[in-house]
Each structure stands twice: as structure tokens, then as C-alpha cells.
């Protein structure tokens, strides 16, 4: 089976790149994937987060999802949970906004205030 060979090669490569990482100190991006979120475009938003994090080779961030129901009219929604536990909720996201959040919030540690739930609810 060809795929077994490919997986063996993947493993070798991954082992070389594996540095000791502190999983506890990871920033988490949690994208809302309940029905309303998906219908509003949460999947391409999550894709944009994943791609931007990979493109910038950022190691201490995980992108994940939750099926918990959010707030329909504000979807797609994502929480950025910093390593100190601080949570920022971003609403009405698009792939472009997701990429900007990675650049400014994740890389430069400056939350994008205008996309937050606080700004949307004003």
C-alpha cells in the first residue's frame, strides 16, 4: 500500500521537526461550528485561520471548533483564548477578517477591537 510508505515518510519528517513544545501555553482559536455558524460561513473562516497560522509558521496556536450554539445574527463567531486565559470574542467574521486577526492579535498581540463582540453590540 502506497499510503503506508507515505505515512512512514511523514513520521520521519515530523520527528525531525518536533521541538519540545509547551502545550499548556498555547493560544487557542475556537470557531463556532453550530448550524447557524456553518450556514453563515464558519467553515471558510476556520480554513483561513488554519492557513494563515500555517503560512506564518506559528507554532504555539491551535485552531479548533465548537458545536455549541452561538448567537445566530453575529455568526460566524470565533473566540481567541490567549495563553493567560483571556478571551476575546470576534463576530461576523470573514476569511479576510480571520487573516487580519492572526496578523494583529496573534502575531502583534493587539486585538482587532472593531471586530469584537463589544464593538458589534454598541
Ligand X SMILES: Nc1ncnc2c1ncn2[C@@H]1O[C@H](COP(=O)(O)OP(=O)(O)OP(=O)(O)O)[C@@H](O)[C@H]1O
- What residues make contact with another protein under the rule CB under 8 A? 3-4, 6-8, 10-11, 13-15, 18, 33-36, 38-39, 43, 46-47, 50, 54, 62-65, 67, 69
- Grid coordinates in use for 11? 513520521
For residues 35 and 75, give the distance between their C-alpha atoms in angstroms, rounded to a whole number.
10
> Cβ atoms within 10 A of the Cβ of 76, count?
27
Residue 20 partner contact from ligand X, another protein, none using kind-dependent CB cut-offs of 5 to 8 Å: none
72 binds ligand X (CB under 6 A): no
Report whether 110 contacts 104 (CB < 8 A). yes
Residue 28 or 100: the one with the smaller Cβ distance to another protein is 28
CB of 91 to ligand X, least distance (A): 17
Q: Which one of 8, 13, 35, 54 is in contact with ligand X (CB under 6 A)?
A: 35
Give the H or E element holding residue 100.
helix 95-101
Specify the residue for cell string 502583534: 108
Cβ proximity to ligand X, 31 vs 106, nearer residue: 31
Amino acid at each position: 500500500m502506497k499510503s503506508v510508505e507515505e505515512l512512514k515518510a511523514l513520521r520521519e519528517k515530523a520527528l525531525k521537526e518536533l521541538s519540545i513544545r509547551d502545550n499548556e501555553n498555547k493560544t487557542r482559536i475556537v470557531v463556532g461550528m453550530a448550524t447557524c455558524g456553518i450556514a453563515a460561513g464558519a467553515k471558510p473562516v476556520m480554513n483561513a485561520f488554519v492557513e494563515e497560522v500555517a503560512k506564518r509558521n506559528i507554532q504555539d496556536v491551535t485552531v479548533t471548533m465548537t458545536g455549541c450554539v452561538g448567537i445566530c445574527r453575529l455568526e460566524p463567531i470565533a473566540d481567541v483564548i490567549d495563553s493567560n486565559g483571556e478571551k476575546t470574542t470576534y463576530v461576523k467574521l470573514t476569511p479576510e477578517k480571520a487573516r487580519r486577526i492572526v496578523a494583529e492579535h496573534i502575531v502583534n498581540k493587539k486585538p482587532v477591537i472593531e471586530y469584537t463582540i463589544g464593538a458589534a453590540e454598541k
